[in-house]
Chains A and B, each alone.
Chain A
């Protein structure tokens, strides 16, 4: 039931781009993306509801492919502050459970 994230880890130089994927074998109502720095609480990035919409937040955007039950997070022109672990949280069905299942995380390291 846990969504699968790929890759598990990625190392970038400042200014490079990255894509993190989140796949589920079940029909999804929504996908949430969070970033967590070591020892801190996860910070919300964006939420995508079923319907295949794409959202953007500064140089970070995401898409949700309802047919494939897959979401992708796009990090453009990465900055040092983008380093951390990225988690997707998925919500199934009609969304009335309020229950998120998180992936295992993707560790991103941005080097100068």
Chain B
């Protein structure tokens, strides 16, 4: 079945540590997105990529980094510069601009 796979489901970060969240899709979608969701809040865009080897900052990119070396993969690194990383992180992909975004099941990140 085609879809988006995020791993791990739960992740714990020690202070000063960088962690990487994985996002893989087999839908052959060009565009991929990373969102952050805090309790009781909407989704805020961190980074997005419309094609391989290209990505743009979203509204809250500080303290995060991404890469897009392959069409099917869009990993997100939460760096030590992100002082409040505890949140639910969602990855999404989309085929064309008139098509919906498809979401993965999310990664819940907490600080140890």
Contacts and interface: CB of A to CB of B under 8 A. Distances in A.
A23 to B, nearest CB: 14
Contacts, number: 57
Given A42-B90, A98-B31, A98-B48, A105 B98 contact: no
B104 A41 contact: yes
Interface residues of A, number: 24
A42 B106 CA distance: 10
Contacts of B103: 41-43
B41 interface: yes
A30 B41 contact: no
B81 interface: no
Closest 6 CB pairs of A and B: A41-B103, A44-B100, A95-B97, A102-B43, A102-B42, A104-B42
15 contacts: A40-B105, A40-B106, A41-B104, A41-B105, A42-B43, A42-B103, A44-B101, A44-B102, A47-B100, A98-B31, A98-B48, A99-B45, A100-B33, A101-B45, A105-B40
